[in-house]
Amino acid sequence: MVVLMVLGLVSYFQLGQDEDPPFAFRVMVVRAYWPGATAQEVAQQVTDKIERTLQEVPYADKIQSYTKPGESFTLMQVKDSSPPKEIPNLWYQVRKKIGDMRHTLPPGVLGPFFNDEFGDVYGSIYALSADGFTEEELRQFADQTRSQLLRVPGVAKVELFGVQAEKVFIEVPQRRLAEMRINMQELLAQLNAQNGVEGAGFYAGEAANIQMRVNGAFRSVDDLRVMPIRVIDPTTGRARSLKLGDIATVRRGYESPPSTRVRHQGKSVIALGVSMAKGGDIIALGKNLTVATARIQTELPVGIEMTQIQNQPQAVSTSVGEFVKVLIEAVVVVLAVSFVSLGLHTKPLRLDVWPGLVVAITIPLVLAVTFLVMFYWGVGLHKISLGALIIALGLLVDDAIIAVEMMVHKLEEGYDKLTAATAAYDITAMPMLTGTLITAAGFLPIGMANSSVGEYTFAIFAVTAAALLISWVVSVYFVPYLGQWLLRTRPKVSRAEEGSADLYAGPFYVRFRALVNACVRHRWITIALTLLALALGFVGMGKVQQQFFPDSSRPEILVDIWQPEGSSIESTEAIARRFEARMMKEPGVQSVSTWIGSGLPRFYLPMDQIFPQSNVSQAVVLPVDMAARERLRRDLPRLLAEEFPEVRGRVKLLPNGPPVPYPVQFRIVGDDVVTLRRLAEEAKTLMRGHPDMLGVNDNWNESIKAMRLEVDQDKARALGVTTQAIAQASRLQTLGVTVGQYREGDRLIDIDVRSPQSERLTLEALDNAYVATATGRMVPLLQVAKPHLVWEPGVLWREGRRFAITVQGDVREGIQGPTVSQALWPKMTDLQTRMPPGYTVQLAGTAEESSKGQGSILAHVPVMLFIIFTLLMLQLQSFSRALLVFLTGPMGIAGVAGALLVLNRPFGFVALLGVIALMGMIMRNSVILIDQIEQDRACGVPAWDAIVGAAVRRFRPIVLTAAAAVLAMIPLSRSAFWGPMAVAIMGGLIVATALTLLALPAMYAAWFRVRDPGTVAKTGTVPR
């Protein structure tokens, strides 16, 4: 015992610690770009071909995509049943198959590019700000900091966010080129040719080879300015030479418009996200990072500040600490139950501590061995495994309590310690093993579930099953030894008086015996009341709100700020700055960090990410405490509506479990974009009509404005102007054209040619755009093309290779998403009947994910029931008796519904796991009672007396084990994540225990037609 406890203690400190259990992210992102194409053209010519290829990948499940003008973004999700070890090979298959079909994509498509590290978690994020330094100097310091952080033990990857790409801009006024009769295409060609790197060969001498080198590549921005440009007049044919600086402004700058910007506490920053190595210990990593960042800060110059934005190690340490505190509370509760229930005597009033002490010793022993098993199985400490330990704590003492109670009972009957210890083994070992295996089997569907939520909650099965089996071994082998050594129970009767004395003749047991007699005598009334309770339980469960997973208890508040589709990142940043400044004035706010043009990186595993888009910004508001979080969560929606009416704002907390974008979602699938838009508007009208819906929107957002250049093809052909040349001229006038790269050290800096800002500020800038004719003469672009303002889709989502628009929204405080989804579903099915053929509406959101997760669990319930029934058959050796015990499984449903309704707790995925496991706990108590009845009947006790007597004698161990399990759940019931499960088990076990002791005897008597002895005496019939 000492060795096992020492090994367990050592293992505990070796266990990895994290916020959530690790689970394989089965999502890969495939991106491609086709500049100049509309969203619908990209969807048909690029996205559809990528999706078709991805369908061929083994284990392919859900393929979603969104398409924007010039951009394709596809998410490929493999089936939850795919083995985690196979996932890297699946991503290789994706790369290979996409590479094989690359030639079928239209010319000009860039990519596809792949991201199979979509699930990386940047748990520690640091902000680097500069005062008195340029953005490029800040980037250099960020690079140096990144290199140092990569050397920290336990760090897998360090990513930079908010870096503005440096560029060299050549700004050429188009009108000036036209006046000087300079062909822009020739200018671009000369720039490309001048900076290229071309092999010049080598001279093969007799003794040595001499490499040939040609200079001319740009070494500085000044080299660009003084670069000679050869210009030929298209009318005279005469050539002349000019310096580039004479006709253009050459300068270094930053990408415009920027892609993503990061701000923290009102300053523009570069963020460094640190990802932990696989299988690492987040607490140890946090300590290493603290040491490293303290050293780095001392090396940074004055004006460069390094601040931590996200600190997952601290959050995990707090979370684990709180769970350990709850675990200690549960241990204290269980010990109190053990000491009082096993050692309290009333005649005279005294407390015998020795029985409780035996149970107390088994708790750390079982926990120690469980930690040892967790260490070898690779199960670390996180919210799932620690919660499972607390659940197991209320169950693992059951066997010890039963064994100790049996020893105490035998000692009270006057037996010696050795005989009492032997009896504890002989009488209880096999029934306890059967009961333990039945309880463990109740958690089996969790272990067998082939889904992401099953993988997320697998530790519930692993930890609980291990703890239960270990507790049986300890109870059978160590408890009798400890009992023989420690118990000091006084015999209540001598061996000589054993035949005439009754230990259950006290007032309480007399009244309880009379109650059981009445229940058995009026068995049909008892059974009817039991069935009524069962029916009320099922009706009550229909009144309980449904839930997938609750929100996390982390303090962060996420605020999504959406502008209309097509908004510029500059206007998005302006609103983000206003919101940031407003939040910094709000009391209770510790810090505000904002990502502009994208959502935050995944700093929390179950986080739902927002992909890069110019019209979105996401802020993370860190309150000073949980009270401030709740106040801000309630007040921020009103603040956004009043002070930022021009945006669609959304306030949310971090989730638990697999991420779901919105609590209520319906997906409308079809082939025509216009028809889908119309149907989506009807669906949104229905959703807005529900009083519990808030912020209804769709994921296609608004249509965007586009300037379409209608080319006069006859005039263009006459002048020798191509459509491609017109597009290039337009691009040169607006965004600019990359003509090469300037090499500086190990960096490559793009060289962009574009018009000056004064010529590209407004749409009138097209007046200054020129295009070259076949003769080299420059003519205004508007001579061959007329601009027209049109509207076109800004973003198109697809699912299963069909267009799919998702209408979605949030729900009112205190209401669960699945509850509203189910209420709206009849209206959506009515809408379905009015849809054209080929169009469907599908349930999505939390209701869809909850159904998927619950389905993966319920699919294995038959296996669980088969195993339980087999165990019952092996123990009871009777089909009818095993079936009787089997039917007691749902007895606790009335208690489950009552507890959830009274305490206003939702019935979620975790609560479902508790209800399934509850069936095993109930059947465990039932098999103990039935086994006692059969033992008594085998000894010649009349059937009626055996039924009543078994209920009386097994009252104490059944109630004690149930009380230990119920009371151990009280500390866990405060948890947002585990609370509904704890409440469900507590309520169900209380009701089921009462029904086991009162209704099960009546059911047994009815099943086997046991007659009342009084009736037998009158009729002369012998009971069976």
pLDDT in tens, 573-598: 999 999 999 999 999 999 999 999 99
C-alpha to C-alpha distance for 547 and 907, rounded to whole angstroms = 6
Residue type, 102: R
**Who wins on pLDDT, 390 or 762?**
390
Q: What is the arithmetic mean of pLDDT over 620-635?
A: 92
Q: What percent of the chain has pLDDT over 90?
A: 33
Q: What is the arithmetic mean of pLDDT over 538-553?
A: 86
Contact yes or no for 157/278 (Cβ under 8 A): no
What the block records as the tokens of 382 is 């996180």
- Contacts of 222 by beta carbon, 8 Å cutoff, 6+ apart: none
- Contacts of 617 by beta carbon, 8 Å cutoff, 6+ apart: 561, 572, 573, 575, 576, 579, 594, 595, 596, 597
pLDDT at 499: 43
| 202-204 and 209-211 beta bridge pairing | antiparallel
pLDDT at 697: 93
Nearest to 977 by CA among 917, 1024, 912, 908: 908
Burial 943-966 (b: 16+ CB within 10 A, else e): bbebbbbbbbbbbbbbbbbbbbbb
pLDDT at 655: 86
**Who wins on pLDDT, 204 or 374?**
374
pLDDT in tens, 909-926: 888 888 888 888 888 888
What the block records as the tokens of 629 is 């979080």
Q: Does the pLDDT value for residue 860 go beyond 70?
A: yes
Architecture of domain 1-16+320-493: Up-down Bundle (1.20)
pLDDT at 535: 94
Least confident of 446-460, 636-650, 703-717, 796-810: 446-460
Q: What is the arithmetic mean of pLDDT over 599-626?
A: 90
pLDDT in tens, 773-804: 877 777 888 888 888 888 888 899 999 889 99
Other CB atoms within 10 A of residue 326 CB? 22
Nearest to 385 by CA among 332, 478, 316: 316
Instruction: Indicate the pLDDT class of residue 761, thresholds 50, 70 and 90.
Output: low
Residue type, 210: I
pLDDT at 502: 55
3-state secondary structure of 404: helix
C-alpha to C-alpha distance for 43 and 802, rounded to whole angstroms = 10
C-alpha to C-alpha distance for 345 and 350, rounded to whole angstroms = 5
Q: What secondary structure letter does DSSP report for 778?
A: E
C-alpha to C-alpha distance for 592 and 821, rounded to whole angstroms = 33
Summary mean pLDDT of the chain: 86
pLDDT at 113: 93
Instruction: Indicate the pLDDT class of residue 496, thresholds 50, 70 and 90.
Output: very low
pLDDT in tens, 800-816: 889 999 999 999 988 88
Nearest to 285 by CA among 143, 158, 117: 158
pLDDT in tens, 175-220: 777 777 777 777 878 887 777 667 777 787 777 788 887 777 777 7
Contact yes or no for 224/244 (Cβ under 8 A): yes
pLDDT in tens, 337-365: 888 877 776 666 667 788 888 888 888 89
Whole-model pTM above 0.85? no
CATH topology of domain 26-118: Alpha-Beta Plaits (3.30.70)
Nearest to 545 by CA among 218, 900, 253: 900
Cα-based angle 447, 453, 458 (whole degrees, multiple of 5):
30
C-alpha to C-alpha distance for 445 and 458, rounded to whole angstroms = 9
**Who wins on pLDDT, 920 or 990?**
990
**Who wins on pLDDT, 593 or 418?**
593
What the block records as the tokens of 640 is 């956004």
pLDDT at 303: 87
Architecture of domain 174-196+216-247+704-793: 2-Layer Sandwich (3.30)
Distance of CA 56 to the CA centre of its chain: 27
Distance of CA 885 to the CA centre of its chain: 38
| 737-744 and 747-754 beta bridge pairing | antiparallel
Domain ranges of the chain: 1-16+320-493, 26-118, 174-196+216-247+704-793
